[in-house]
Structure 1
Amino acid sequence: MKKNYISILIVIISAALLGLVFIQLYWIKNAITLREDEFYRKVTFVLFQVSNKLEKIETMQHIQSVSNEQWEKMNAMNNPIIGNTLFYDTIKTFRDEDMEIKVVEGKTLDSSKKIISQSIEGNSKIGKNSYDFKLNLNAYNHNSITATINDSVYLLQKEKRSNLISDLVEKMYEPENIKPIKERLNKDLLDSLLKNELLLAGINTPHDYNVFDYYGNPLFELHKNQLEKFQTLSYNMKLYPSDIIEKPHFLSIYFPKQKSYLLKSMGLILTSSVIIMLFVIASFTYTILTILKQKKLSIIKNDFINNMTHELKTPISTISLAAEALSDPEISNNSSFRTNYLNMIKDENKRLAMMVENVLKSALWDKPDFKLHRETLDIHEVLLEIINSLSLQVQVKGGKIEKRFLAENTKVYADKVHITNLFFNLIDNAIKYTIKTPEIVVETSAHNNYIKIAVKDNGIGISKEHQKKIFDKFYRVPTGNIHNVKGFGLGLNYVKAIVEKHKGQITVKSEVNKGSCFEIVLPTKL
């Protein structure tokens, strides 16, 4: 896959992911807003109900304070004077300050229930004058006088009832009957009403409430921090809204845990949304990482094929030339030439075999069932053997390998073949990647139950960018001006794999043009 196609694909996937995340967040925000609006409506309705009930209770208390005589008047005024009734031979008397009226009715017992007799008596005193009247009416002679009397009595009742209600209202708003808010408001009653209305509205979260006057002064004691919260985060409703004389007071309620309560009430929705969003993000991220990984593997594969082709081409060409030379009778008859070419073919054949062996082994050391043939080894003896075998190469370049064996407990339980190959690769790399006179130091030190082996050189070094990748399979660091260093990028990958199989650790410290230091820590045998 071409680089441009991969970049375009990553951009498209990223844009789609951002779009989905944005839509999900927008939906969550709208859901929270709707829940907040619903909460606001519920709280406002609760405050309205509390204010309304407080006013009704106060009104009833005023009405109950009216005298028994006024109550009797009110009840009397609510009864009709003339009309159909289920009773027979009914006598009703109505009293007022200036008049006494008595109505006597008699009705038939048949289904028509006609009035057969009716009389009205009145006695009134108005100032110095007084008068009495009595009317007897015949049920069989209902003329206009009957209707006039009926209407007159009805209007009298209506006027008296209206006057009685007016008196009641006047008493309620007399200055001596208007009390301060602290006397009018019962805190226990207010608390009980609030709790009950909140429960009915389905609001079950801690709350604080208070009453404030027109200037924002609280009726009940408050701390300073609470006052600030009431001023900014509370819900408010006017108390006693029908008051036309008193300055208004407001009931305020504040919910300290409102946000957590709303989020908790949306727990299932929010949790499912977050899980889905994280799942989508993880899927897209995994897809992008897989694409990048495949791209990286494709580059490594191409580099490996190129390196392997180059590495195999040299020995094959050498063998081909040697075989062609031996086919010449003059060269084949010369024993020294023949021996030289045969040895060349043999060496190159070994080289090819070793290359193939390394490639095959690279597929084995990553497997979990890769087995080591452990035995007790002296790490100093292993290192000394390797140094002796490579010292000639260093001497040819005019350099040296310095030994600093400081560890006392040098016994390790390890696979001799792989441990030897491990340190051979490290010291061989130190020689190959040094342009100037090689100065290599092999140092050991003991620390509790492990031994640390460091291989230092003064070579070309490794940049920080490449230090993270040098242990990857098939990865090769660009060598700059060094063109004779050959390999497949398997050496350091093999080193790390063997160290980890022995329960050890490997680290690298390096600076460009100053050299590198590889440190290996292996557990010692007690």
Structure 2
Amino acid sequence: MVATGFFSNIVAVLSKRSIYIAIFVLSIITLFVVQYQYLKIGLNVAKVKFNRDIGTSSQQIKQELGAETQLTFLIGRALVKDDRYFDLSLDSMETASKTFLDDFIKYRLSLNGIKTDFSYRLFTRDSTYYLKSAHSFAPETKLETYPILLTGYLPNLVDKQVILELQFKDLNTYFLSQLNGLTIPSILCLLVIIVIFIWVLRSVYWQHKVITTTNTFINNLTHELKTPVFSIGLATKILEPEVPENKKQFISIIKQQTERLNKHIDKVLELGKLEFQKKVFKTEAVDFYPNLKKLCEDFEALSQLQNIQFSYHLEGEAYPIKAEPTHLENALSNILDNAQKYADDPVIRLESKTTKNTLEIMISDNGIGMSKKEKSLIFKKYYRVDEGNLHKVKGYGLGLSYVKDIIKKHKGKIKIESTPGSGTSMTIIIPLNHGQ
């Protein structure tokens, strides 16, 4: 049964892990799709802006090349191959005109925010006159071309239509570079999210594995302890009738300590059940008043034997709640047990009442009390109030952790009021079951 429950819990954990991973992967894919759509929109916007800027630049270039200036005069003479006006060879004149025209176009493009590689061709439609950029792309390069039909000086000079064709390569890369402020931070954020999720997932399941292994060990150990404890209890009962009257107190001590050890074992097993067999815990509609009254009566009888001042007052006659009575009784017993442990001359009071929607059970004592820091830690597993490295009260720091789990499973809460040296008051608040 234990093995079956363990493996079913492992299957449940793996199923949850698969669900979490699936949700995360789906979320990341959705983020990538959204980012891709934003990128497409950004590229379209960048392309529209580029076309607008190239249009503005083309108009400015066309206007300036339409007038007769030193630049257009040099270009014109290079087109018609006329070196009469320059102390330069024809080749040198063509090189100079190409360089000056390249600088002129680059300057005009940069003024309009276009800063990418380009080349140009200056030609007539019948290719009678032709001037090519000193910098040109490889023949197989896919180019985006923007022709500018010139007017004015140059067409009049050659008496033909003259076209200045601007050429750009791989504009998508240029557009993406314009969007680096959007794409790079987004990609980095996605990578950080993925890394953090993987790290958290590995940490959580590593811790879960450690806890599972630890609890499996504890469960096996406590089950093994059950047998010798049972044997001690059985042997004590068999020997009790034959023990002389003056030594029966020792039998009573053995029985008392055996029962105490048995309770500790049950407590550890219950904690393991709550953490790894949550489906076992089932609440039902009950009237908790008789259970609480019986608990108080039993503790009152025990208190008289141990010289503890205990009193109680149960207001009302019915406490309808949805509960797992055994666990809820154990939780209250733990609080009562702590109340009598942490006081030299314990004075304990239990009061209960119902409000419109809740059952409130308050247990107060005159013990050592707690600081604000200790109040925030006492429900952690294995934590115990420190008394200068000396724990006068024996225990394992499991009781209040168990109490918190039980109250949480009853959809309730615990309120603590405590001052060091002035005792502690714990109030358990559980919703009433009005449907009962």
Q: TM-score range by the shorter chain?
A: 0.3 to 0.5
TM-score normalised to the size of structure 2?
0.48
- State the structure with more CA Rg: 1
